[in-house]
A and B are shown apart, each in its own frame.
Chain A
Amino acid sequence: METQRCPLCGQPNPPQAEVCQYCQARLRPLWADSSSAPSSPPDNQVAKRSLPPESGEPLPPGRLSGMRSQIGTEESAQAEHPPQGVPPSKGTLESEDWLEGLFSGSSEGQAEDIPAWLRSLRGDSADKAERVEEPPMHPLFSASQPSVFSQAPQSKLELEGVSPPGEGEIGSGIAQEERPVPPFEGLDTFALEGHSFPGEDKLDTSTPLTAKEASPKSSPAAPSAEEDWMSEIPPWLETLPGQEWVEEESPEKAAPPELLHAAVPPFIETEEELSEVEFPSWLDEAERSIEPQLDTLIESLSPQTTEPSMGEKTPEGGLPQATAPFQEEALIEIAGPLHGLRGVLPAEPLVAAQTRPPRPIAELLVTEKQRAQAELFLKLIEAEGKPIPPPPLKRAKPHSFWRILIFLVLLTTAAVGLVIPPFAATPQELSVAVFDAMQAVGQLPGDATVLLVVDMEGGNFAEIQATTNALLDQMMIKGAFFVLVSTHQEGVLQADRLLREVSRLNGHRYQPSSGWVNLGYLPGGATGIQALSESLVELLPYTVEGKAAWQQDRLKNIRSISDFDLILVITEDSTRARQWVEQLNGKYTASKLLFAVSAQVEPVLRPYYEANPRQVQSMLAGIRDGAIYETQAARPGWATRFWSAYLIVVLTGIALITLGSLVYSISGLGLQKSSPREGNL
């Protein structure tokens, strides 16, 4: 089965298809190509080579002008070279064939389809009787014949959305009102094919013409095919205005029919020539009558109403203005063999033409909403290029007032607790930890050597001093010799200070060298502690003063960490406390390991103390254990002195925390009730 391929996408399509099944491109042009229809009658060639009507120009398209020029060439050729004895040129022969096809009617089958009026033109006597009975119809008004009007182009006014004068009423107008029919020169016969005339259905072909119209013109006897059509003008045509040309024309046998002269306007190439063309009077009248209405209509239309989409009809019934680009696309060929012709069919469908839509259409198609969105989009694009200043930082509002107020309250309570006589007795109950510590200290020999590890900063000195005062005091009473070491840089100084303070407050005469040696800083953290537990003497051979530490009399017997009678770790850092426990585990007897720590270390250290077996012999945590120790040892010191102030400050702190929590909770509930949705967002 023969198929036809789409010129756009190349896909095969059925031969009868007019539109591609794949890309919807038109497979056959709207106007049949002469090359594709060689058997079509010659009279159709004019129309087939025509373009869609151009509303902007009342003149025929350029190719018809070319045809006219061709005809003119034939005329000139005939004028210069008489036809007798001279073989006609090719163009002349073509035009004769073209006309012969119209008038000869050699085919029998075609003769049956030829209307009566045409046969009368051809001088067919057999049809004269029918012509009398049945008034000949002009092919323009014939329904069976592809008439000129049946394929009449959209005139200029029609393309602009205004019906041409007499549209749809042409036939009836002729028959009923006997209104003069416009001459042929006003008809765009060159662009009739493919367009159905709006008023075609109203053509009344059965309406008899007047007697004058019905009576045939005197026809010459046995006219030739060329001169017959000129002499046998239908009667109805004689009544038309502009029939003068029929009488004035002196028909030349070889000349093209005057009908084509009228239908084909002169060859026009420039705008100046276009302006010199005289339009028929009826067209001017119609244009003048409609022009005010057009102006009113255009002015009344809003921009949106003037932007109908392609193919839509305006409410007024006119064609949309979207046909304007289609009209503009009938361009003049500027190259090739068709140079100068207007409206030449493109080699490929128009849908494939990569043409840029005209700007006015693009602008008109933008609605107000789209325009607003486009402006917003442009603003966004412009805003992206601009540097955005960082938002001002919201600095936390300093609660100076509340901080000062809380500080003053606590300071006042502390001062009151220190000034007033003790209102609360020191804790008397003996805790297990304090008992174990006292027992460990009590078991020290007279010349005990104690490794004192002080890992603390200056800020916690007061608490540590209150905690360890009684413990160190008891050791000093026992005459213990202290070996100071610290894994904290500041601890080296704090250890020396602590011993000085305890000695001073409790009336001891402990001095460096005689009472203690300071080995200084132990670097390495956990690694240093492990090294200390394995090789004490090699790791710290000198004191902070640069003296040989292990050459002293009290330290001659010390070679490893297990030689100490007691190890007391004083720290306020839970990590360091844990490291000491871990690194000394298994390398030193747990019964000789004591911890005096800050209250914040107690939760971490207590599992080591309460484990079974214990990893820590005893643990004094905070000022409370220090106060208990002082009480049990009957040696009141810092803890006892601070105890009353400590209690009142702690109670005040608890009260402030509770009050603040209540206020915060109430205010939070109030804020949540005031803006419940903000919270969800």
Chain B
Amino acid sequence: MSLDFLTLDFFGSVLGVALTLLVLSYLIRDHFLLRFLLYGYVGLMAGFAVVLAFNILYPSLILPILADPIGGITQLAIPLALCSLLFLKAFPRLSPLGNLSLAFLVGVGLAALIGGAIQGTLIPQIRATIQPFDIHRQATATEERLSGLVQGLLILLGTITTLAYFHFGARPQVRGGVRRAEWIESLSRIGQLLIAIALGLIFAGLLKAGFVALIERTQALLQFVITLQRGL
């Protein structure tokens, strides 16, 4: 017996609505069905990760060796050795041998992150902060030049005050306690305000994304009800 597309779509909609209601039932209380759903989702993703790993390892590591054992092993000796050492982390006695692979991964990862942050964020952003004060490179119109200057001042102020907030060079006071210099404290208050605004924006974006998800699920529920009314 073969199922047509509409039937599969209908059962898919039913499954989607059921899972949606299960997730929404968390508002009332936690229950085993919801946990079953979450565990099922985690297991599904773990199985999918295994598939992904196989999809990566098989063409990159296994297949070359199967195709040309000598050449493949010669070519992939170092990655193969590192992978083998990483597998030793599963055995407590031999796990220190796997630190070599972890050190390689961490070192390469940090190098990529730091290098990318410096070249992709730090230098370009510093340049972008300085750029508005380069009057000769700005537009010739006076209004645009003034607008760029004001914008540059605001950006500079925001940058300095935000960095001042993260300045922790405090000194002990006579009355006791530790406090930063007064001028740094004043700047840090402005930076704190700007950081709060940025975090508020992020939260607002997160909230809007959630609202859109709610609307999409509501629309799916309504669509299912409408489908049921029309079909039945």
Interface residues, chain A, with chain B CB atoms under 8 Å away: 398, 400, 403-404, 407, 410-411, 414-415, 417-419, 459-463, 466, 489-490, 492-493, 520-521, 523-527, 529-530, 541-542, 544, 546, 572, 574, 578-579, 581-586, 598-604, 607-608, 610-612, 615, 621-623, 642, 645-646, 649-650, 653
By a CB distance below 8 angstroms, the chain A residues around B202 are 574, 600, 603-604
B48 within 8 A of A: yes
B212 shortest CB reach to chain A, Å: 4
B147 within 8 A of A: no
Check B205 against A526 for contact (C-beta < 8 Å): no
By a CB distance below 8 angstroms, the chain B residues around A607 are 125, 128
B96 within 8 A of A: no
- How many Å lie between the Cα of A313 and that of B124 in the bound state? 95
Check A527 against B108 for contact (C-beta < 8 Å): yes
By a CB distance below 8 angstroms, the chain B residues around A583 are 112, 116, 120
Check B56 against A650 for contact (C-beta < 8 Å): no
- How many Å lie between the Cα of A466 and that of B212 in the bound state? 9
Check B55 against A460 for contact (C-beta < 8 Å): no
B119 interface neighbour in A398, A586, A645, Cβ under 8 Å = A586
Q: A521 with B218: in contact, given A602-B201, A623-B212 (CB under 8 Å)?
A: no
Q: A611 with B219: in contact, given A489-B49, A546-B55 (CB under 8 Å)?
A: no
Check A653 against B207 for contact (C-beta < 8 Å): yes
B12 shortest CB reach to chain A, Å: 13
By a CB distance below 8 angstroms, the chain B residues around A584 are 120
Which among B22-30, B76-84, B171-179, B182-190 touches the partner chain?
B22-30
B222 within 8 A of A: yes
By a CB distance below 8 angstroms, the chain A residues around B108 are 527
Q: Is the interface of B mostly helix, strand, loop or mixed?
A: helix
Check A521 against B56 for contact (C-beta < 8 Å): yes
A180 shortest CB reach to chain B, Å: 85
Check B214 against A585 for contact (C-beta < 8 Å): no
Q: Which of B212-232 contact A (CB under 8 A)?
A: 212-219, 222
Q: Which of B66-110 contact A (CB under 8 A)?
A: 108-109
By a CB distance below 8 angstroms, the chain B residues around A603 are 198, 201-202, 205
Check B55 against A520 for contact (C-beta < 8 Å): yes
- How many Å lie between the Cα of A649 and that of B217 in the bound state? 13
Q: A527 with B112: in contact, given A646-B212, A650-B208 (CB under 8 Å)?
A: yes
Q: A526 with B218: in contact, given A520-B52, A611-B128, A649-B211 (CB under 8 Å)?
A: no
By a CB distance below 8 angstroms, the chain A residues around B169 are none
A26 shortest CB reach to chain B, Å: 54
Interface residues, chain B, with chain A CB atoms under 8 Å away: 24, 27-29, 45, 48-49, 52, 55-56, 59-60, 108-109, 112-113, 116-117, 119-121, 124-125, 127-128, 131-132, 198, 201-209, 211-219, 222
By a CB distance below 8 angstroms, the chain B residues around A579 are 113, 116
| Interface contacts beyond A410-B211, A418-B219, A460-B213: sample of 15 additional A-B pairs, CB < 8 Å, sorted by A | A418-B215, A459-B213, A461-B216, A463-B209, A489-B45, A489-B49, A521-B56, A579-B113, A582-B117, A582-B121, A598-B209, A603-B202, A607-B125, A607-B128, A611-B125
- How many Å lie between the Cα of A520 and that of B132 in the bound state? 42
By a CB distance below 8 angstroms, the chain B residues around A530 are 112, 116
B211 interface neighbour in A493, A544, A574, A653, Cβ under 8 Å = A653
Check B124 against A585 for contact (C-beta < 8 Å): yes
- How many Å lie between the Cα of A544 and that of B215 in the bound state? 32
Check B119 against A400 for contact (C-beta < 8 Å): no
Q: A525 with B211: in contact, given A407-B27, A541-B59 (CB under 8 Å)?
A: no
- How many Å lie between the Cα of A526 and that of B204 in the bound state? 27
A453 shortest CB reach to chain B, Å: 16
Check A585 against B120 for contact (C-beta < 8 Å): yes
By a CB distance below 8 angstroms, the chain B residues around A524 are 109
Check B116 against A526 for contact (C-beta < 8 Å): yes
B158 shortest CB reach to chain A, Å: 10
B155 shortest CB reach to chain A, Å: 9
A542 interface neighbour in B59, B112, B208, B212, Cβ under 8 Å = B59
Check B206 against A600 for contact (C-beta < 8 Å): yes
A630 shortest CB reach to chain B, Å: 14
- How many Å lie between the Cα of A514 and that of B54 in the bound state? 25
B205 interface neighbour in A459, A608, A622, Cβ under 8 Å = A622
- How many Å lie between the Cα of A404 and that of B26 in the bound state? 10
Q: A521 with B52: in contact, given A400-B27, A622-B205, A650-B211 (CB under 8 Å)?
A: yes
Check B201 against A525 for contact (C-beta < 8 Å): no
- How many Å lie between the Cα of A529 and that of B112 in the bound state? 9
B29 shortest CB reach to chain A, Å: 7
- How many Å lie between the Cα of A635 and that of B208 in the bound state? 23
Q: Which residue of A lies closest to B132 (CB)?
A: A612
A544 interface neighbour in B55, B116, B124, B222, Cβ under 8 Å = B55
By a CB distance below 8 angstroms, the chain B residues around A604 are 202
Check B212 against A462 for contact (C-beta < 8 Å): yes
Q: Which of A524, A526, A584 has the most CB of B within 10 A?
A: A526
Check B119 against A546 for contact (C-beta < 8 Å): no
Check B124 against A615 for contact (C-beta < 8 Å): yes
Check A404 against B215 for contact (C-beta < 8 Å): no
Q: Which residue of A lies closest to B63 (CB)?
A: A542
- How many Å lie between the Cα of A411 and that of B210 in the bound state? 12
- How many Å lie between the Cα of A579 and that of B115 in the bound state? 11
By a CB distance below 8 angstroms, the chain A residues around B56 are 520-521, 523
Check A646 against B120 for contact (C-beta < 8 Å): no
Check B218 against A411 for contact (C-beta < 8 Å): yes
Q: A521 with B121: in contact, given A418-B215, A623-B212 (CB under 8 Å)?
A: no
By a CB distance below 8 angstroms, the chain A residues around B211 are 410, 414, 646, 649-650, 653
Q: Which of B127, B207, B215 has the most CB of A within 10 A?
A: B215
Q: A612 with B27: in contact, given A460-B209, A466-B212, A600-B202 (CB under 8 Å)?
A: no
A526 interface neighbour in B28, B55, B59, B109, Cβ under 8 Å = B109
Check A645 against B215 for contact (C-beta < 8 Å): yes
A11 shortest CB reach to chain B, Å: 48
